[in-house]
Amino acid sequence: MQRFFLGIYYTYSFVLLSLCIYNLRITEFIFIRVSYLFILAFLLISFYGIFDSIITSSEYNYFLRKTSSIYVNHSHFYYTISSCLILSFFLQLKLKKRFFIYLSILVFILSIFTLSKKTILSSFIIFIIFIAYNNKSFFNKFIIVSLLSSCLILVGIFFEPIFKRLNSFILTFNSDTGLDLTARTQMYLGSFNVAFDYFPFGSSLGTFGGSVAASLYSPLYDHYGISSIRGFEPYNEQIEGYNFLSDFKWPHIIAEFGFIFMFLYFLLYFFPFFNLTFKKYFDKSSPYYFLTICFSILLFIEGLGSSIPENLAFYSISFLFIYSPYFILKSRS
């Protein structure tokens, strides 16, 4: 029973927050100032991360892979950099100041130096969306995207730490002993197995993946062989530096909700994105819709390998910007 009620809290707590943010009335002037404050805070956190990386000796010295800045978890620091990139692009679209272009380039470079596959992917997608929002010809946009893709490929080839991480990721699928999937990949496969076995309603809240199944160690981990994978053992049996129990959001939604209700959950979680996308008379060229798209994409990608979409502090910040078209429109009426 405790597992179920904790599962309700961690899984559905975003609903109440969404309703509160949806009903806000914030003027554009105040919202722009709030965006400035968030960018300033994110930059200070990023610069502290750079300083921390420089003074900390590690395999990736002078890179940002091993620093968590002011946070406990590296993923939280990477999220901060991606959020700063989105807000820089947003303010450029809204205010048309060249300063924010330079700032965006700086933050994009920082995202590459994290060596995080999720962060680089989300930053690349955000960059492409920003280019699509600019009033340039299709040919110019194609050239920019091609140059950006070429630069990322060259960085991946010639920056040894990045190449090493990408190469080790590829090699896990082509080892001498056959198919040797990464721990996180096995967690995804396990979640699909649970969804099939408990079709169509899933295994119930708090039973697989996520914070509750980690703290109240789920018996399904033993049943599906997850507990034998390094990083997924009970807390008292784990090797230091190998703890992946709370590194997920979407696998626990797949397993606990099943295939049918999984889609309903995604519709509810990303309601603003789907609602505004299919609303015929909504202005899709609005910079506020840019925020909705980019923060939704960021949360989705982060949820592939972290619990950020279930972390109250981080999804609160994200929802503040995701729901911005609603309360900006209300303040105008």
Mean of per-residue pLDDT scores for the chain: 80
Q: Would you state the pLDDT for residue 175?
A: 40
Residue carrying structure tokens 């703290």:
215
Q: Report, as an integer, the average pLDDT of 139-151.
A: 62
The string of pLDDT tens digits covering residues 170-196 is 444 444 433 335 667 777 888 888 888
Tokens of 91: 């303010």
Q: Please compute Rg for the chain using Cα positions.
A: 21
The string of pLDDT tens digits covering residues 9-38 is 888 888 889 998 988 888 899 999 999 999
Helix (H) or strand (E) segment spanning residue 322 = helix 312-322
Question: Where is average pLDDT lowest: 55-59, 69-73, 113-117?
Answer: 55-59
pLDDT band, residue 251 (cuts 50/70/90): confident
Q: Are 302 and 75 in contact (CB under 8 A)?
A: yes
Which of residues 127 and 156 earns the better pLDDT score? 127
**Residues β-bridged to residue 175:** 178
Q: Would you state the pLDDT for residue 172?
A: 44
Does the CA dihedral 105-313-203-262 come out positive or negative?
negative
Instruction: Indicate whether 168 pLDDT > 60.
Output: no
What angle do the packed helices 138-158 and 160-171 form, to 10 degrees? 90
Q: CA 120, CA 128: separation in Å to the nearest integer?
A: 12
Percent of the chain residues past pLDDT 70, beyond the cut? 79
Q: From residue 182, how far is each of 90, 170, 220, 232 by CA, in Å?
A: 36, 10, 19, 12
Q: Whole-prediction pTM value?
A: 0.85
